[in-house]
Amino acid sequence: MAGLVIEREILIEAPAEVVWRTITEPDQMSQWFADRVDLVVEPGAHGYMQFGDQGGPVVVETVDPPTRFSFRWNHPRGEEPVAGNSMLVEFTLTPEGSERTRLRVTESGHELLDWPDAEKQRYADEHRGGWAEFLDRLARVLAKGQPG
Amino acid sequence: MTAQADDQLWSAIADPSRRRVLDLLVSNGDVSASWLAGHVPFSRQAVAKHLAVLEQAGLVSRRRQGREVLYQVEAGRLDQATRAMADLAAQWDRRLATIKRLAEAAHAQAKKGEGSHAPIQGGTS
């Protein structure tokens, strides 16, 4: 995936079905994400999320219970969210036994619209370590002062 | 930071090949575009394009030394970008921690037989 921004994960002591409800039911979402969530969890559904006195539209992409859920947000109001004008949030739930679930989230955006797919993939593969590694390295360098 | 500047910074560093260019600049200091082109698996034209985007976002600057143009990282701006990224990652860590707490509490309650759950929303049944 080119343009990968953030990738985080956590291990949860609950079955995937329970985790699924927590991440997809609007009244649950309002406890970990926005202050208010108006959303029907169906592919293509348009919703709205309120954060404090700000808010914005959200569009559901993938609904595949209980393993995959994704939506796009942060796109300009009035525009249809597509790659390039929005951020894609993807949740992946992987059961580890019957009572434990690994939950992974990626937030990505600003894909390389002007690059052929094969090249995007190759560069993405070369930088599989992605952000965490990049940030660690930068932090080390910055702590040492400016190079040169 | 204005929204537009934020956007510029975002898209500048979201691209893995630009991160590669930034990496090289961070570890090697002042270098020319042709030196960079010799150290990446993409064309010199691509390097020039990436440098232009990075410069536009304020992440690199250039100076002329004799007949060469040398590029360097703008440490302050890069630090700002790094912190913005780390903040975003920390925000997701907090959200995941909350999801974990909510899901584990719901599961514990269900196991005690005190709560019953609605069927999975958006399910295929």
Give all domains of chain B, ordered by start, each with its CATH number.
1-111 (1.10.10.10)
**A79 shares its domain with A122:** no
Which residues sit opposite A19 in a β-bridge?
none
**A90 shares its domain with A22:** yes
What residues in B contact A127, CB-CB < 8 Å? 16, 19-20
Instruction: Show the domain range for A87.
Output: 4-110
pLDDT digits (tens, 9 = 90+) for A46-73: 999 888 877 788 999 999 999 999 998 8
Output phi, psi for B54, to 5 deg: -65, -40
What residues in A contact B85, CB-CB < 8 Å? 5-6, 131, 135
- Strand A4-12 relative to strand A36-38, pairing: unpaired
pLDDT of residue A126: 46
pTM here is 0.66
Torsion angle of the four alpha carbons A92, B20, B25, A135, in this order, in degrees rounded to the nearest 10: 10
CB contact under 8 A, A13 and B107: yes
Q: How many Å apart are CA A89 and CA A105, to the nearest integer?
A: 7
Of A20, A108, A115, the CB nearest to B120: A20
Among candidates A92, A58, A93, A83, which has minimal Cα distance to A72? Answer: A58
**A102 shares its domain with A129:** no
ipTM over 0.95: no
* pLDDT tens over chain B, length 125 residues: 445 556 677 677 777 788 889 888 988 889 999 999 999 998 999 999 999 999 998 999 999 999 999 999 998 888 777 777 777 788 899 999 999 999 999 999 998 875 455 555 444 44
